[in-house]
Amino acid sequence: MKIQSRRKTPPVGVGNVLLGGGHPVVIQSMTDTPTADVERTLKQVIELIDAGSEMVRVTVNDDDAARAVPEIVKALRAQGYTAPVIGDFHFNGHTLLAKHPACARSLDKYRINPGNVGRGERHDENFTQIIKIAVGHNKPVRIGVNWGSLDQELLTALMEENAKRKNPESARGVTLEAMVQSALSSAALARKCGLREDQIVLSVKMSVVQDMVSVYSRLAKECDYALHLGLTEAGSDVQGITSSAAALAILLQQGIGDTIR
């Protein structure tokens, strides 16, 4: 099977690792420990790096986790590990990053989901606050859209618009379009806030292999941003591993994807 040439993207610097821009696909993983437990989280980060992970993501979901991040990173570096550490933020990311500048500085990249940073005007305010902090610390950001927390206002608007068409798309097709639009509009807002093109990574995670292939193919045609590939809710059992491998194989063969989990 012939592998198509890699899709061209700006190279994104994440700590000492470059993803996109023709560089090899970067392997990353995520801890499942309470980040506030410094000892356990540090141990797992090291285990993941030793197993081949080139970047490791940790959840930053509360004040205790945010306070623990600098300790984890400092201890990791003291042991000679240079792999980037990524912070996974959710509905309170804007508050935690503003309240804990040491955490914001220590992380090599932030991951945010535009579907759970607030509604309406609060959404844009919270999202903008996170991006401005990233710009201030010169950090890249992954804007990770997830079908399970897709912006319902956007989806409803597209569904209503679709219903007026002479030949409306299926609900699945509209959902895929909403995923792409959410990612692109969020990236556009991030750019307005000062985040550079080479500091943005996008992901649009679905839970079904065919949907994942379709949505990433659409997104790849509409932008030049680096892409993080992943199948959400895949699980770690044989079925989950098989589903993830199937989707990743198709997309990577098409030259789509710059980092995978």
Predicted confidence (pLDDT) per residue in 119-130, tens digit: 666 778 999 999
| Residue-wise pLDDT tens digits, 221-247 | 999 999 999 887 655 567 778 888 999
For the chain, domains (ranges, CATH) are: 12-150+181-260 (3.20.20.20)
Report the greatest alpha carbon distance in the chain: 63
Query: Mind giving me the DSSP string for 146-176?
Result: EGGG--HHHHHHHHHHHHTSSSPPPHHHHHH
| Residue-wise pLDDT tens digits, 93-118 | 999 999 999 999 999 999 999 988 86
Give 86's strand partners.
57, 109
Tokens of 52: 């081949």
What confidence category does residue 3 fall into, taking pLDDT thresholds of 50, 70 and 90? Answer: low
